[in-house]
Structure 1
Amino acid sequence: MPQVAVFMGSASDKDTMQACSGVLDQLSIEYQMTVTSAHRTPERTKRLVQELEAEGCQVFICGAGLAAHLAGAVAASTAKPVLGIPLNASSLGGMDALLSTVQMPPGFPVATLALDKVGAKNAAWLAAQILALRDSDLAARIQKAREEMKDKVEQDAAGL
Structure 2
Amino acid sequence: MKKIAILMGSDSDFPVVEKALTTLDKFGVPFEVHVYSAHRTPEEARAFAVNARENGFGAIIAAAGKAAHLAGAMAANTTLPVIGIPIKSSTLDGLDALLSTVQMPGGMPVATVAIDGAENAALLAIQILAVTDEELAEKLRFARLENAKNVLEKDRMLAEKYNK
TM-score category of the 2 structures, normalised to the smaller one: over 0.9
Runs (4+) of structure 1 moved beyond 4 Å?
A: none
Pairing partner for 1:137 from 127, 135, 140: 135
Q: Give the alignment of 1:72-111 within 5 angstroms.
A: 72-111=72-111
CA distance in 1, matches of 2:29, 2:107: 28
CA distance in 2, matches of 1:2, 1:43: 24
CA distance in 2, matches of 1:145, 1:125: 10
Q: CA RMSD of the aligned region, Å?
A: 1.2
CA distance in 2, matches of 1:98, 1:27: 27
CA distance in 1, matches of 2:32, 2:129: 15
Q: Aligned-pair distance for 1:50?
A: 3.0
Structure of larger gyration radius = 2
For structure 2, which runs of at least 5 residues remain unmatched after alignment? 159-164
CA distance in 2, matches of 1:105, 1:153: 39
> Is the Cα contact below 8 Å between 1:2 and 1:55 reproduced in 2?
no
Q: Deviations over 1:59-93 (max 9, x none)?
A: 00001001000000000110111000111113211
For structure 1, which runs of at least 5 residues remain unmatched after alignment? none
**Percent of pairs with identical residues:** 47
CA distance in 2, matches of 1:14, 1:44: 19
> Is the Cα contact below 8 Å between 2:2 and 2:129 reproduced in 1?
no
CA distance in 2, matches of 1:38, 1:139: 33
> TM-score by structure 2 length?
0.92
> Is the Cα contact below 8 Å between 1:59 and 1:127 reproduced in 2?
yes
What is the number of residues matched between the two proteins? 158
Matched, 1:4 2:4: yes
> TM-score by structure 1 length?
0.94
Q: Deviations over 1:3-29 (max 9, x none)?
A: 210001101110100111111111111
